[in-house]
A = this chain, B = another copy of it.
Amino acid sequence: MTVVNPAPSSPAPTNGNHAAAASLILRRVAIDTSRENVVYLNRDCEAFRAGGLQALAKVEIRANGKRILATLNVVDDTSIVACHELGLSEDAFAQLGAPDGHRVAIARAAPAESMPALFRKIADERLNRDEFHGIVRDIAGHRYSTIELTAFVVACKRGELDREEVFFLTDAMVASGRRLDWHEPLVVDKHCIGGIPGNRTSMLVVPIVAAHGLLCPKTSSRAITSPAGTADTMAVLAQVELPLDKLANIVREHRGCLAWGGTADLSPADDVLISVARPLSIDSPALMVASILSKKIAAGSTHLLLDMPVGATAKVRSMPEAQRLRRLIEYVAHRMHLSLDVVVTDGRQPIGRGIGPVLEARDVMRVLENDPRAPDDLRQKSLRLAGRLIESDPDVRGGDGFGIARDILDSGRALARMNAIIAAQGSQRFDHHHAHLGVLTFDVLAPCAGVVAGIDNFQIAHIARLAGAPKAKGAGVELFHKLGETVAPGAPLYRVYAEFPADRAFAQQAARKATGYLIGDADDVPPVAVESR
């Protein structure tokens, strides 16, 4: 596997102010400001006064040939940072990579070059290929403030980029980071558009298709607003933050992996955009397509299976909407030379029983071990999707995939492959028979007798999130009843697990407002109109 690095970005325009500020001494300031780079200067510092800077100005720090952007905080306490020092927050210090005491230069950051294009898009204009590349390059280079990022995300959502613009955006996002080349004609991958809690089919599909012999180097995200992403759930079983060479070795040996995509620096602009889009619950087709395809193409996939759940409380609410989205993503995949298979699936309710990292990991292991307690919907859906992927193997006939996948699962070969992958990545020694769940729990009971006629994916995910998932791995929701099942009054519908009192309180407050369950008659259960095999 080889890595293709992105073209270097154009050097920042000079501003003639570096020489004067070269005499500052770097000092690590032990403040964790999360992903925001902060630089601390003393108010009496010469560089601060001479540079005409002010608090919250965007500045550029240079040392050792490296350059980072940061926001300025002004300090009035020499014990935090002295007049000849330049302080950097934890992440910024790590990014710059220079040691304490090193000489650094500071200058006001030149505004991002793509600003005019950004303003044109905010004003509803159509952008060309170069303009998208400029914007994405600046985003990946952390030249955009939170305000500018948000404006771009909202403008893209509302302006409904035309399909060619979506292609330009996708292409630019691939170009903004590394690209992996596996040197094989068939590199398969699976992705779900999301919105369905508990839907961890990837963790079953990968070992199944890898056991069949297909190359499936799966990288996934951690959750931003959902109760668990694939990377969060896999992290319960094994190490997921793998250096690229280790990831490549694992894939070479076991034909698959389930790693966190962050270390590989694939489509870095995507991560920046998501950090803003998800908190706003923005899921525009344009951004969704660009995000998914750019990540997969950068990861070196040649064949992608896309799971698109449709339902009243899923991301895609109706079949016409699903068709529109499918046509868009098929067009962009075609322009990007990626083979794409879209499968529209049942999005009326969560998949599986557990929602939250440990609860979902337990479901996954139960399916792999053919445990009778394994949730059947998770098993069936995973077999279907694995089967479809297996059919990209030219030696497999259309329709035979499901049976092949089922044999691999029933025989234990999928379990063996998963265990091998877990061992290779670094096992967390998870025992699903003794799963460590949050001890602060409460049950939500059926208010009356009847049939489960609706389960609100959003509300259930919201409650699981308030309960602490995914940060608190043992937190989340365990569903006892699914659509169509009969319940007696007072029967527990689901149990919420939390690790902290505040989390339990917030989750309980939300569940009291709305349980997410609708109890009615058998006729009230919404029908599903998607392929079943």
Contacts and interface: CB of A to CB of B under 8 A. Distances in A.
A280 B154 CA distance: 13
Given A151-B150, A154-B150, A32 B17 contact: no
Given A77-B30, A146-B146, A146-B147, A15 B505 contact: yes
A13 B505 CA distance: 11
Interface residues of A, number: 64
A17 B151 contact: no
Copies of this chain, whole number: 2
B150 A502 contact: no
A80 B30 contact: yes
A155 interface: yes
A412 to B, nearest CB: 39
B145 A52 contact: no
Interface in A217-235: none
A319 interface: no
Interface string A492-513: 0000000111110110010000
Interface in A455-501: 468, 471-472, 499-501
A16 B501 contact: yes
B146 A150 contact: yes
Contacts of A282: 122, 151
Contacts of A55: 32-34
Given A13-B509, A147-B146, A500 B276 contact: no
A148 interface: yes
A54 B471 contact: yes
Interface in A54-74: 54-56, 73-74
B75 A30 contact: yes
Nearest to A282: B122
A122 B157 contact: yes
Most buried by B among A20, A147, A155: A147
Interface of A: 13, 15-17, 20, 29-36, 40, 43, 50-52, 54-56, 73-77, 79-80, 89-90, 107-108, 110, 119, 122, 124, 145-148, 150-151, 153-155, 157-159, 276, 279-282, 468, 471-472, 499-503, 505-506, 509
16 contacts: A13-B509, A16-B501, A29-B77, A29-B80, A31-B73, A32-B73, A33-B56, A34-B54, A34-B55, A50-B501, A50-B502, A119-B281, A148-B279, A150-B154, A151-B153, A151-B282
- State the 5 A-B residue pairs at the shortest beta-carbon distance, nearest first: A150-B150, A30-B77, A30-B76, A34-B55, A154-B154
